[in-house]
Amino acid sequence: MNKRVVLASYPEGWVTESNFRVETAPIPKPGDGEVMVKNLWLSLDPYMRGRMSQQKSYVKGVEIGEVMSGETAGEVLESKHPKFKPGDKVTAPSGWQLYWCGKGEMLTKVDATKVPLSYFLGCLGMPGRTAYFGMKDICQPKSGETVVVSAASGAVGSVVGQLAKAWGCRAVGIAGGKMKCNYVVKELGFDACIDYKAGNLFENLKAACPKGVDALFENVGGEIFDTTLRLMNLRGRITICGLISDYNAKEPYGLKNFRAILVNRLTVRGMIVFDWLERYPEANRDLIELVLAGKLKTRESVVEGLENAPKGLIGLLKGENFGKQLVRLA
Ligand SMILES: NC(=O)c1ccc[n+]([C@@H]2O[C@H](COP(=O)([O-])OP(=O)(O)OC[C@H]3O[C@@H](n4cnc5c(N)ncnc54)[C@H](OP(=O)(O)O)[C@@H]3O)[C@@H](O)[C@H]2O)c1
């Protein structure tokens, strides 16, 4: 039997386990042009909070009773598509379930012989590509410049800072807690990381950025973004990638330092990674090269079993994950 997690109700404020329901169903059979996949890993991502809502967004939300959306990495069990055969490793838009069946065109074949399969949901997957294009095309950091990134120990942030270092910049992270900050500096090689939970964010960030901030990769929003705005340099660039501090809030945070955009002639651009779909091969090639060269390190936070996926998502939205959040399915 297939096991899957469906949306039982829309959360108001924080997500709770009662917003989900675990169901069983027959294992799907592939039709012509289709492939059946056994999922081994499920990616948990902050955007899933947005899908648990009827609010207008860049993608339609999940309906009540529908399988929660999400990307998985797994193995082909049966194929009626010429490009796939049993045993192939793939990523797929399966949602929160153990087995998935769909058109071969929806799958991506991956080579997991040199790196773990799970990396294709993290540093070599959607989060890695988000960091890559947000940095390359929007932050456009030049050697010697200072790049700041929030949620620095996470899936996207950790890649952003390591790209900044690989491209000759000063990389400064912002993260919650001493352990995450130590990891970002000692393991990932950032120049500094500021613990926003320790207070004095503005003073500490200013000290870590003695020449100001040329590029900001924003993952969190709210007070952290507002504070960093005060340190931006003339003609700085800002990638608005995520606003996780607002995702469960009843009211969005109101920015106070908007003026910094005007006086510094900042370029501020929102990004959604699938706008770069045609250039994914470029990111995939550069990111795996860095991983194999030991210049792009990653850390994973693993929840065991599909039925624990709701717990994993709730933890992620509260910052309890330490690295890319995954669910091990088998
Ligand atoms: N635009 C796109 O295409 C795109 C694609 C992927 C991801 N994103 C966005 O990128 C951001 C990071 O995603 P990710 O997958 O890399 O997640 P992640 O960083 O691995 O995990 C989320 C982290 O956000 C931080 N956080 C949570 N609530 C917070 C709060 N109230 N204030 C400050 N920090 C908070 C926590 O780290 P700390 O403990 O350090 O606070 C938590 O560990 C999210 O906003 C996500 O929506 C956007």
Q: pTM of this prediction?
A: 0.98
Is the C-beta atom of 271 inside 6 A of ligand 1? Answer: yes
**From edge to edge, which strands make up the β-sheet containing 146-150?**
192-195, 170-175, 146-150, 213-218, 232-240, 267-270
As a whole number, the mean pLDDT across the chain is 97
**For residue 309, how far is its CA from the centre of ligand 1 (angstroms)?**
17
**For residue 316, how far is its CA from the centre of ligand 1 (angstroms)?**
8
The pLDDT score that the predictor gives to residue 274 is: 97
Is the C-beta atom of 173 inside 6 A of ligand 1? Answer: no
The pLDDT score that the predictor gives to residue 56 is: 87
| Percent helix, percent strand, percent coil in the chain, to nearest 5 | 35, 25, 40
Phi-psi region of 323 (alpha: psi -120 to 50; beta: other; left: phi over 0): left
Give the model confidence (pLDDT) of 211-224 as tens digits.
999 999 999 999 99
Is the C-beta atom of 272 inside 6 A of ligand 1? Answer: yes
**Section 246-250 average pLDDT:** 90
Give the model confidence (pLDDT) of 46-90 as tens digits.
999 999 999 889 999 999 999 999 999 999 999 999 999 999 999
